[in-house]
């Protein structure tokens, strides 16, 4: 019985450490984002506020070309967020509360920023290597 209590206490300690780590690394930034994102008078986040927030948050990862694709991605993420609140017999929500915003915020950071940037760079490089009608082939 005594060894069981030691194992249970140690497990509880590990669980507390895992919870503290998760809170510090995952939940705190999400809570901070909720505190600063623009909200309407109803305390909820509109599509425009969500997109503006995410575009600013991830601006250093975007190029001119990828920003357009990212905006389309954000529209789909926002639709998924409002879809979390679908209920029979009630009108669809058009804005996000804290819970759904948090999920959308995490998902918005999962966009393939580097892959889109790399694809854009490859396309630009390929275009630069193709001769124009005024240049001789390289």
Location of structure tokens 């929500």: 93
Considering the domain architecture, whether residues 72 and 83 belong to the same structural domain is answered as yes
Q: pLDDT tens digits for the chain (138 residues)?
A: 555 445 555 556 777 777 777 666 667 788 899 999 999 999 999 999 999 999 999 999 998 888 999 999 999 999 999 999 999 999 999 999 999 999 999 999 989 887 666 665 665 555 555 555 544 554
Q: Which two tokens stand for residue 50?
A: 């969500």
Is 137 within a domain? Answer: no
Considering the domain architecture, whether residues 71 and 110 belong to the same structural domain is answered as yes
Q: Count structural domains, the chain.
A: 2
pTM over 0.75: no
**Rounded CA separation 77/108 (Å):** 7
Strand-pairing partners, residue 45, are 96
Considering the domain architecture, whether residues 55 and 66 belong to the same structural domain is answered as yes
Considering the domain architecture, whether residues 24 and 92 belong to the same structural domain is answered as no
């Amino acid at each position: 019985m005594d060894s069981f209590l030691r194992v249970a206490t140690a497990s509880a300690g590990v669980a507390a450490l895992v919870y503290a780590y998760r809170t510090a690394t995952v939940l705190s930034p999400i809570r901070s984002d909720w505190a600063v994102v623009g909200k309407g008078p109803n305390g909820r986040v509109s599509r425009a506020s969500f997109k503006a927030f995410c575009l600013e948050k991830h601006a250093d990862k975007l190029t001119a070309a990828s920003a357009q694709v990212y905006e389309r991605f954000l529209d789909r993420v926002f639709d998924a967020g409002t879809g979390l609140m679908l209920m029979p017999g009630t009108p669809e929500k058009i804005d996000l509360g804290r819970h759904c915003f948090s999920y959308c915020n995490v998902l918005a950071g999962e966009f393939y920023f580097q892959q889109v940037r790399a694809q854009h760079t490859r396309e630009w490089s390929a275009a630069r290597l193709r001769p124009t009608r005024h240049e001789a082939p390289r």
